[in-house]
Amino acid sequence: MYRYDGFDAKFVAERAAQFRRQVTRRLAGELTEDQFRPLRLMNGLYLQLHAYMLRVNVPYGTLSSKQMRTFAHVARTYDKGFGHFTTRQNIQYNWIKLEQAPDIIKELANAEITSIQSSGNCVRNITSDQYAGCAKDELSDPRIYCELLRQYSFLHPEFSYLPRKFKIAVTGSPNDRAAVAVHDIGLRMHRNEQDEIGFEVLVGGGLGRTPYIGQTIRNWLAPEDLLSYVEAILRVYNMQGRRDNIHKARIKIIVNQMGIDKYRELVDKEWEFTKNGALKVPDDEIERIRAYFAPPAYERLQDLTAELAVARKADRAFDRWLRGNVIEHKVPGYAIVNVSLKAPGRVPGDITADKMDAVADIADKYSFGEIRVSHRQNLVLVDVKQSDLQQLWRELFALELATPNLGLLSDIICCPGLDYCALANARAIPIAQDISHAFSDLDELQRIGHFTINISGCMNACGHHHVGHIGILGVDKRGEEYFQLTLGGSSDQQASLGDRLGPGLPQAEVPGAIRKIVDTFLKRREHEERFIDTYRRVGIEPFKEAVYGSESQAA
Amino acid sequence: MALIKDGKLVTDPFVDASGPEALPPTGPVLVTYDQWQAERAALLARGTPLGIRLHSDQPPELIAADLRHFALVALEFPKFRDGRAYSYARLLRERYGFTGELRAVGDVLLEQLFFMLRTGFDAFDVQGADPLGSYRTALGDLSVWYQPTGDGRPTAMQLRRKH
Amino acid sequence: MSQMIIANRLIDGLVVFLVSGGQWDTAIAQGALIEEDSEAQRLLEVAKQDQARCLVIDPILIQVRVENGQVRPTEIREVIRAFGPTIRTDLEDTGPAVVISREADRRADGAGHLRRSTKE
Ligand code: SF4
């Protein structure tokens, strides 16, 4: 993975020192909260319901075992002993003290971790495919370009005060695991007719109050032009994006207001000037970064299909886990192992400091010391020898990190909601807990098959509710928490936004409604169809009727 | 209010004529874009240095063809959060080749000094007890840059490739 | 119904309540119960001075009720601020979950009440 050189290290050290001065001035009363707020936000420090919350970047979801131990150390020393992995592949701490924040940021900097631009109206942490570099279906490694963009975006002098936040995601595989279509800029790597690898560029996707699927602004972009083209998109947005209304300030609004063709025209006009300038990425820089992502020292191995089959036969639980959470690797004899943070009744994405340390040890032992974070709030060990799988499984099992539910109904995405978040309308976590508790029978989960439930505590949609097969949105109805359900959302290469099922439900009725939706699906399902396919075939009506009764037809 | 230019505290030679008062008969003046539109000939006939102040919704494209007439362009930050002027500054310097004084006015926070310096500002209309002290502190904040802009500071990438 | 003043303390961000002596305390039980509107406005001014002095952030008035000798905000959001997250730890397969609340006993009270009140 990428390692800081002298420049990167100096940059984060200077930035940490600058933040310390700012905090000192705030505590001494030289800065008002209004003046200080944007400064702390640019360093990922929010004020939430209970205390300050620190959001720390995991650039494109990749971290080393050493960095994971640093996360554990911060959780233990400065917080209540746990952290929360988010849908943006970041980690959040919930009880940070302002007076200690500079120390934390310095400790993180020593481990090559930052919280720079994890908040604010700037380019946020670049996200990507959690299997990057290892997936069998991958065309090219997206992390090289993520890293290029990470450096390019850090404290960009022109784009640190954009109209609103700006999120970029990159996928190097045709099977989109990074949800690029719901980002301000989505980059999809593919080959052009000359067989060269480049990017399809999507712009204007996003969730929140007004969700949009991104539109293609450019079919193919050469890697050397990546920065100049992104700069053109950002410059047009910085000058034309709305600043009069925070709810209309994201790029998706302006793109959809003026139309993608007009936006493209403005970007192309801008790009003419900058295309061949200082932003052209030299091949040697791409190669310099690529070298950091060179494959680890894989052994020459054979796939262990036969041996594993024997082990699976002997142990049903192992078999289930293998089928559920383990994915094919591009290198024979290796496998990608998903570590579920979704045990029934647990808080999705939460993990204790002790378990962080344990995962770090396991990564050292079995996966070249590297760990990934997925936007579905799980962890991944990407380079595990197939011959180690059974032993690894035993160790994860003992840690309650082996729930074999990847991509199944209880693998729920869930934002912190009103239990932590100052913007929330309703609590999201108890809903996730209730649902995963109600659907904890593994045979049943497997029968139901691939299913995503995404929960957000408010319109800001951090829990990606619009693109869950079932989306659950917390709303405030005269001081009571209600939940609005949407069906049919998806964030993969066939991204779609969910349709509203009907009036909001009180918390206690949500698990029952999910049960009815699942029962209806099982009745209507043909062959081994996934829920989303059945839904697309039969439409929303049968589900409406199941949840609200037949009078909903009349209404 | 104090004016810092090229790192020094200076007295502003320009009289702000954007208010309702009549233009002073002689000397450098700072006018709005509307005034420039309405009184172009008279302003040019004065024969004294001319400055123009652009609001954040007035892109520099509006004055690109007239730039040779201006010794000063003042770009407004109505709120420190409104970052349009950063793009305007770069366009003025890097695309339209403006070499006169580029001044940040309005809600100018020295916490953002480097963003301004790097996009091409060289003068800052600032408040506070010790503006020059704050300016110097801010100047010491950072020394590594990742983005190439017109200010010529070498980026990390450029320095790496030299080695 | 009574009122109380709630804020976050600048130095550590913790939720604090204005005490009758003019100090701030992290326990809602210590907070000054305010009965009169005029008194509420007067104390809010005091609290805002503490904001200007960089002691607290965003002081606001909230409605509270005294139930069985315990003070509880009427709004869910403020209940959660006062007593901590309501994450469930009572499900049999939840196991010994992480300690979430500022104090376990507060959570037991706060969360228990909260869940019942929303289900009713
Ligand atoms: S979706 Fe709303 S409640 Fe959930 S984390 Fe985002 S802002 Fe907070």
Q: Tell me if C87 and A419 make a contact (CB, 8 A cut-off).
A: yes
pLDDT value at position C114?
Answer: 38
Mind listing the pLDDT tens digit for each residue in A209-268? 999 999 999 999 999 999 999 999 999 999 999 999 999 999 999 999 999 999 999 999
- Name all chains with 3 or more CB-CB pairs below 8 Å to chain A: B, C
How many Cβ contacts (< 8 angstroms) between chains A and C?
102
- Name all chains with 3 or more CB-CB pairs below 8 Å to chain B: A
Residue B96 Cα to ligand 1 middle (Å): 43
pLDDT at A29 over 50: yes
pLDDT value at position A493?
Answer: 83
To the nearest whole Å, the CA of A339 is away from the closest chain C CA by 18
Mind listing the pLDDT tens digit for each residue in A143-166? 999 999 999 999 999 999 999 999
Is the Cβ–Cβ distance between B82 and B76 less than 8 Å?
no
Q: Tell me if B144 and A39 make a contact (CB, 8 A cut-off).
A: no
Mind listing the pLDDT tens digit for each residue in A298-315? 999 999 989 999 999 999
pLDDT at C117 over 60: no
* C1 reaches A (C-beta below 8 A): no
Q: Which amino acid is at A329?
A: H
| Cα torsion angle, A325, A331, A333, A334, sign | negative
Q: Which amino acid is at B140?
A: G
pLDDT value at position C89?
Answer: 57
Chain centroid, CA B34 distance in Å: 18
In a domain, C99, yes or no: no
pLDDT at A383 over 90: yes
Residues 6+ apart with CB under 8 A from A29: C53, C54
To the nearest whole Å, the CA of A240 is away from the closest chain C CA by 33
Mind listing the pLDDT tens digit for each residue in A406-438? 999 999 999 999 999 999 999 999 999 999 999
Q: Could you identify the atom of ligand 1 that is nearest to the CA of residue A417?
A: 3
In a domain, C111, yes or no: no
Is the Cβ–Cβ distance between A163 and A241 less than 8 Å?
yes
pLDDT band at residue A551 using 50, 70 and 90 as cut-offs:
low
Which of A124, A456, A464 gets mutated to test ligand 1 (max ligand atoms within 8 A of its CB)?
A456
To the nearest whole Å, the CA of C56 is away from the closest chain A CA by 10
Residue A377 Cα to ligand 1 middle (Å): 15
From edge to edge, which strands make up the β-sheet containing B50-54? Answer: B8-10, B2-5, B123-126, B101-106, B72-77, B50-54, B29-32, B15-16
pLDDT value at position C88?
Answer: 60
| Every domain range in chain A assigned CATH 3.90.480.20 | 6-110, 305-398
Choice between A26 and C119, residue whose per-residue pLDDT is larger: A26
Q: Are chains A and C in contact at 3+ CB pairs closer than 8 Å? A: yes
Return the structure tokens found at A48.
């939430």
Q: Tell me if B84 and A243 make a contact (CB, 8 A cut-off).
A: yes
Average pLDDT over every residue of A520-531: 96
Residue C110 Cα to ligand 1 middle (Å): 22
Options 3.40.190.170, 1.10.4160.10, 3.40.50.10420, 3.90.480.20; CATH of A305-398: 3.90.480.20
* A292 reaches B (C-beta below 8 A): no
List the single best residue of A149, A152, A161 to mutate versus B (max B Cβ within 10 A).
Answer: A161
* B114 reaches A (C-beta below 8 A): yes
Q: Which range among A94-108, A499-513, B19-33 shows the weakest confidence by mean pLDDT?
A: B19-33
Which of A415, A418, A472 gets mutated to test ligand 1 (max ligand atoms within 8 A of its CB)?
A415
Mind listing the pLDDT tens digit for each residue in A182-214? 999 999 999 999 999 999 999 999 999 999 999
The residue whose CA has the least distance to atom 2 of ligand 1 is A458
Q: Tell me if B144 and A11 make a contact (CB, 8 A cut-off).
A: yes
pLDDT band at residue A397 using 50, 70 and 90 as cut-offs:
very high
pLDDT value at position A192?
Answer: 95
Q: Tell me if B119 and A5 make a contact (CB, 8 A cut-off).
A: no
CATH topology for A6-110 is: Sulfite Reductase Hemoprotein; domain 2 (3.90.480)
Q: Tell me if A273 and B80 make a contact (CB, 8 A cut-off).
A: no
pLDDT value at position B19?
Answer: 76
Residues 6+ apart with CB under 8 A from A478: none
pLDDT value at position B1?
Answer: 80
* C81 reaches A (C-beta below 8 A): yes
pLDDT value at position A496?
Answer: 92
What does the alpha-carbon distance between residue A349 and residue A401 come to, in Å, rounded to a whole number? 11
Q: Tell me if C86 and A419 make a contact (CB, 8 A cut-off).
A: yes
pLDDT at C100 over 50: no
In a domain, C61, yes or no: yes
Q: Tell me if B84 and A238 make a contact (CB, 8 A cut-off).
A: yes
Q: Tell me if A238 and B144 make a contact (CB, 8 A cut-off).
A: no
Q: Which domain holds residue C25?
A: 2-83
pLDDT value at position C105?
Answer: 35
Q: Could you identify the atom of ligand 1 that is nearest to the CA of residue A457?
A: 3
Residue among A18, A22, A161 minimizing CB distance to B142: A18
To the nearest whole Å, the CA of A238 is away from the closest chain B CA by 6
**What are the C-alpha distances in Å from A493 to residues A137, A175, B102, C16?**
13, 6, 47, 47
Q: Tell me if A157 and B109 make a contact (CB, 8 A cut-off).
A: no
Domain count, chain C: 1
In a domain, C92, yes or no: no
| Cα torsion angle, A140, A143, A146, A148, sign | negative
pTM above 0.95, yes or no: no
Options 3.30.2130.10, 3.30.413.10, 3.40.50.620, 3.40.50.1220; CATH of A413-554: 3.30.413.10
Q: Tell me if C87 and A343 make a contact (CB, 8 A cut-off).
A: no
Residue among C11, C57, C94 minimizing CB distance to A345: C94
Q: Are chains B and C in contact at 3+ CB pairs closer than 8 Å? A: no
A27 CB neighbours in chain C (<8 A) are: 10-11, 54
User: What percentage of chain A carries pLDDT values higher than 70?
Assistant: 99
Domains of chain B: 2-162 (3.20.20)
Q: Which amino acid is at A54?
A: L
Return the structure tokens found at C93.
């397969």
Q: Which amino acid is at A305?
A: T
| Every domain range in chain A assigned CATH 3.30.413.10 | 134-292, 413-554
DSSP B100: S
pLDDT value at position B129?
Answer: 83
Q: Which residues of chain B have pLDDT under 50?
A: none
pLDDT at A492 over 90: no
pLDDT value at position B21?
Answer: 73
List the single best residue of A10, A34, A158 to mutate versus B (max B Cβ within 10 A).
Answer: A158
List the single best residue of A355, A356, A427 to mutate versus C (max C Cβ within 10 A).
Answer: A427
**What are the C-alpha distances in Å from A218 to residues A149, A174, A261, B138?**
18, 17, 10, 40
Q: Please state the ipTM of this predicted complex.
A: 0.97
pLDDT value at position A520?
Answer: 98
What does the alpha-carbon distance between residue B75 and residue B62 come to, in Å, rounded to a whole number? 13
pLDDT at A554 over 60: no
Average pLDDT of every residue of chain A = 95
What does the alpha-carbon distance between residue A104 and residue A78 come to, in Å, rounded to a whole number? 8
Q: Tell me if C81 and A96 make a contact (CB, 8 A cut-off).
A: no
Choice between A283 and C118, residue whose per-residue pLDDT is larger: A283
A244 CB neighbours in chain B (<8 A) are: none
The residue whose CA has the least distance to atom 6 of ligand 1 is A462
The hierarchical CATH code for the domain A134-292 is 3.30.413.10
Q: What is the DSSP string of A71-113?
A: HHHHHHHHSSSEEEE-TTS-EEEEEE-GGGHHHHHHHHHHTT-
* A159 reaches B (C-beta below 8 A): yes
pLDDT value at position B114?
Answer: 93
Which of A207, A460, A481 gets mutated to test ligand 1 (max ligand atoms within 8 A of its CB)?
A460
Return the structure tokens found at B140.
């010491």
| Alpha helices per DSSP H over A379-421 | 389-398
pLDDT value at position A102?
Answer: 98
In a domain, C66, yes or no: yes
